[in-house]
Structure 1
Amino acid sequence: MTTSPVPRFDEWLDLIEERSAALRSVASKSPADARIPACPDWTVTDLLAHVGGLQRFWAAAVTAGPAPRPPADAEVPDRAPAGDLPEWSARSTAVLLGALRTAGADAPCWTWWADSGGASTAGTVARHHVHEVAVHVRDVQDAAGVPEPLPSGPAVDAVDEFLHVAFGSMDGWPQSPVRVALVADEGRAWTLILDETGASAVRSAAGEGRPEADATLSAPASDLLLALYRRIPWDDEALRMTGDAALIRQLVVWPTLR
């Protein structure tokens, strides 16, 4: 099976709109006070407010352009929910999409992943936020007792982004140098090279050779991503491991989630 190409900017915007609408839809069918299993201090209401606040934060960051720091609270208009929560959430999505469209994919802006070596642009904000919302849709589905896999295309892209951005932003690997392979059933694979300098990811496609690894984690991309985001345990039955299982456990708990 082959993977889909990386989405274009306009496709990321469409996915933000679609996944945000999916979040509101599943939230509307869930008890407002249902607890989020991955974030037990949050209810469904809290999570919907969190995502809306994130969208307004990223809108402010994109609108501000290049900056040495993230927007301060006073620079993020209406970040706290007001009035009807679903309506405020829908407006938050519209604010973000408007900021992204106005800026364009290549407009530089502040991002927390600047140290990863990846671009800090409106386009990378759009890409990252697709993945944020997709994981939070799954969170609300979990709270409602109806979890579903993430859509395959965004999940493959999200694994790629996580490995290059989240791991790429980390300081040196605290253990001995190792290599860990993650293999998506959709036909994409990555080898993480971990040493005192941090982590670097090498992409490969189905049938291509890849560096030897000390441990390998294979699964559908949705399950790989959910494991990386600590939404399912590293030893979940959906994850197929070979090599050093303890190394997989160390890897999953290493990055700081944002």
Structure 2
Amino acid sequence: MDPIEEWSKSQERVIALLEGASGDQVERHVPSCPDWTVRDLFSHMVGLGTDVVAGDEPDDHNETWTARQVDERRGHSVGQLIEEWRRTAEPLRAWMRENGPRPLGDVIIHEQDLRGALGVPGGKDSGGVALIRDRFAPRVGARLPEGTTLGLVGTQWSWASDGGDPEQADVVLHADEFELHRASLARRSADQLRSWTTKGDVEPILDAFATLGDLPEEDRTE
């Protein structure tokens, strides 16, 4: 899979999603990013690309940086945001060819956040989702308590934190690949993680899944 091609495919899916959204829909709050509306989250996605191309990208993607992206586009219509994103696309692809496909994560993760807010499923089986799933599973592994191993088992994909047999790990979770992918991004609740646990005690390792913030209190299904 070409990660830059997957970025482009996700961009077009997001544009189609937002072109079909009503004015009321773009003002909905996003459950996975509760401080932002759909328009705000899209402003961040567009602003991230513009900033990366301009060489303005802090290592930690801090809240001040992302908030500025939203604030600077506060009065922009969805059409204006789409136009800016399309202008940025080829320079960003060139940047990724030189520097690596790190921006793929932002578009893949937030595409599903937007879909959750709008109630329009799609893109779950994309190559981009698979690439980001494989990128974030080791991040969960790196957060595990010392001496504890974790196995994630989907229908066609599995992973073990120690590189061994996932079913032999101390804690084993069985779920659909997409659910495990979203869980690794702190997009699934502790109750959901508990319900997928088929071996061991997930309680002491719940924090390992909080890679992008706290786990949500309510179940998520986007």
Task: Please show how residues 21-36 of structure 1 align to structure 2 within 5 Å.
Answer: 21-25=15-19, 27-28=21-22, 30-36=24-30
Asked if residue 86 in structure 1 is aligned to residue 78 in structure 2, the reply is yes
Contact 2:47 2:69 in 1 (8 A): no
Asked if residue 233 in structure 1 is aligned to residue 189 in structure 2, the reply is yes
Using the alignment, how far apart are the partners of 1:231 and 1:49 within structure 2?
Answer: 21
Using the alignment, how far apart are the partners of 2:130 and 2:48 within structure 1?
Answer: 23
Using the alignment, how far apart are the partners of 2:202 and 2:9 within structure 1?
Answer: 34
Q: What residue is the counterpart of 1:116 in the other structure?
A: none
Output one character per residue of 1:133-180: Cα deviation in whole Å (capped at 9) or x when no partner. 233233233333x2526421332222101124x458x6xx47332110
Asked if residue 189 in structure 1 is aligned to residue 166 in structure 2, the reply is no
Q: What residue is the counterpart of 2:136 in the other structure?
A: 162
Asked if residue 59 in structure 1 is aligned to residue 53 in structure 2, the reply is yes
SS of structure 1 residue aligned to 2:168: coil
Residues 226, 256 of structure 1: alpha-carbon distance in 2 compared, 3 angstrom cutoff: closer
Deviation at 1:48, TM superposition (A): 1.8
Q: What amino acid maps onto 1:90 in structure 2?
A: I
Q: What amino acid maps onto 2:176 in structure 1?
A: P
Report the structure, 1 or 2, having the larger helix content.
2
Asked if residue 223 in structure 1 is aligned to residue 179 in structure 2, the reply is yes
Using the alignment, how far apart are the partners of 2:212 and 2:168 within structure 1?
Answer: 26
Output one character per residue of 1:193-245: Cα deviation in whole Å (capped at 9) or x when no partner. 4xxxxxxxx4x8xxxx5583111122222211222222221332896222222
Contact 1:52 1:88 in 2 (8 A): no
Asked if residue 152 in structure 1 is aligned to residue 121 in structure 2, the reply is no
Using the alignment, how far apart are the partners of 1:223 and 1:88 within structure 2?
Answer: 33
Name stretches of at least 5 consecutive residues in structure 2 with no aligned partner.
214-222
RMSD, matched Cα: 3.7
Instruction: Report the identity percentage.
Output: 22
Deviation at 1:41, TM superposition (A): 1.8
Q: What residue is the counterpart of 1:246 in the other structure?
A: 203
Using the alignment, how far apart are the partners of 1:127 and 1:39 within structure 2?
Answer: 18
Report the structure, 1 or 2, having the larger strand content.
1
SS of structure 1 residue aligned to 2:45: helix
How many matched pairs? 207
SS of structure 2 residue aligned to 1:46: helix
Output one character per residue of 1:68-120: Cα deviation in whole Å (capped at 9) or x when no partner. 968997xx999822764223322332244211343462x13xxxxxxxxxxxx
Contact 1:179 1:214 in 2 (8 A): yes
Name which of 97, 100, 104 aligns with 1:127. Answer: 104
Q: What residue is the counterpart of 2:219 in the other structure?
A: none
Q: So what's the TM-score if we normalise by structure 1?
A: 0.64
SS of structure 1 residue aligned to 2:26: coil
Residues 21, 33 of structure 1: alpha-carbon distance in 2 compared, 3 angstrom cutoff: closer
SS of structure 2 residue aligned to 1:230: coil
Q: What amino acid maps onto 1:249 in structure 2?
A: L
